[in-house]
């Protein structure tokens, strides 16, 4: 029930949803004063949420900074959170824009920073089909000649809360000792750390897939960009997710 509720709630908290609500309200309402007010609100919101400068500074504060890993001995496992692969139009597995999670997890294993890699992710669709992300990712690791003995998969989770709970059971079963290296996108790391801490799983943050937050100033940052609105959807989801998880 919580999973379904969280998916439906997301629709109502996205910035684009509120911008559209105020625009539609301005078109429907006949009173000139209220119509003007809603048009002003929608315009201001649109300018704020398409401004690269504001997003970049917010991301710089939100994204978790990496902690240097110890070099004297390898960590037992890198936990790579799913969300970086899915189905293409033909029903085959494919990487998406968050594939840096896969790359960095594989890099940690290949360079000897970790001895095992755990891919955590099932099918997070509201109406799931047969595709299980971690199962498909394992086939890709095997094609890259990663030993099967080094690969762990968790293919039941639908969200980050389940990522943590189900991964914990696997790590205990395999007798892999903490701390573990947690690999996920920089925008997702803050919420992930909170959830893993609640599950009492000791992890070292290894953020990747930075999409903004560089902090480099340029006049072009004040030019409205439609792509920024889509990125705000991601950060809004994370912020609300933290609030909901804290309450839950």
Residue 88 belongs to domain with CATH number: 3.40.50.620
Using DSSP's 3-state secondary structure scheme, residue 120 falls into: strand
In terms of domains, do 86 and 138 share one?
Answer: yes
Q: Does residue 40 form part of some domain?
A: yes
Residue 198: give the domain boundaries: 78-208
* pLDDT one-digit tens code per residue, 3-14: 666 666 777 888
Using DSSP's 3-state secondary structure scheme, residue 53 falls into: helix
Rg (CA), the chain: 20
* CA-to-CA dists, residue 16 to 21, 22, 49, angstroms: 9, 10, 9
pLDDT attached to residue 124: 65
Question: Mean pLDDT over all residues of the chain?
Answer: 91
Q: Does residue 26 form part of some domain?
A: yes
Q: Does residue 117 form part of some domain?
A: yes
In terms of domains, do 236 and 176 share one?
Answer: no
In terms of domains, do 89 and 188 share one?
Answer: yes
Domain count, the chain: 2
Q: Does the pLDDT value for residue 1 go beyond 90? A: no
User: Strand 117-120 to strand 93-95: parallel, antiparallel, or no bridges (unpaired)?
Assistant: unpaired
Band of residue 111 on the pLDDT scale cut at 50, 70, 90: very high
In terms of domains, do 96 and 54 share one?
Answer: no
């Amino acid at each position: 029930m919580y999973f379904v509720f969280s998916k439906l709630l997301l629709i109502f908290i996205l910035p684009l949803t509120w911008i559209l609500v105020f625009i539609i309200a301005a078109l429907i309402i006949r009173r000139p004063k209220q119509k003007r007010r809603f048009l002003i609100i929608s315009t201001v919101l649109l300018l704020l949420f398409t401004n690269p400068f504001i997003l970049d500074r917010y991301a710089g504060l939100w994204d978790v900074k990496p902690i240097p890993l110890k070099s004297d001995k390898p960590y037992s496992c890198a936990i790579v959170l799913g969300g970086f692969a899915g189905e293409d139009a033909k029903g085959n597995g494919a990487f998406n824009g968050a594939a840096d999670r896969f790359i960095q997890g594989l890099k940690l294993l290949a360079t000897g920073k970790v001895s095992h890699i755990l891919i955590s992710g099932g099918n997070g669709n509201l109406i799931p089909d047969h595709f299980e992300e971690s199962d498909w990712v394992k086939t890709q690791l095997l094609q890259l000649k990663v030993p099967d003995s080094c690969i762990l998969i968790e293919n039941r989770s639908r969200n980050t809360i389940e990522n943590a709970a189900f991964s914990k059971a696997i790590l205990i079963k395999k007798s892999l000792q903490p701390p573990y290296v947690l690999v996920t996108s920089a925008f997702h790391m803050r919420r992930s750390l909170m959830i893993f801490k609640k599950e009492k799983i000791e992890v070292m943050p290894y953020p990747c897939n930075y999409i903004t937050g560089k902090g480099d100033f340029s006049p072009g940052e004040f030019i409205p960009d439609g792509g920024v609105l889509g990125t705000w959807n991601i950060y809004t989801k994370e912020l609300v997710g933290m609030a909901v998880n804290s309450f839950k």
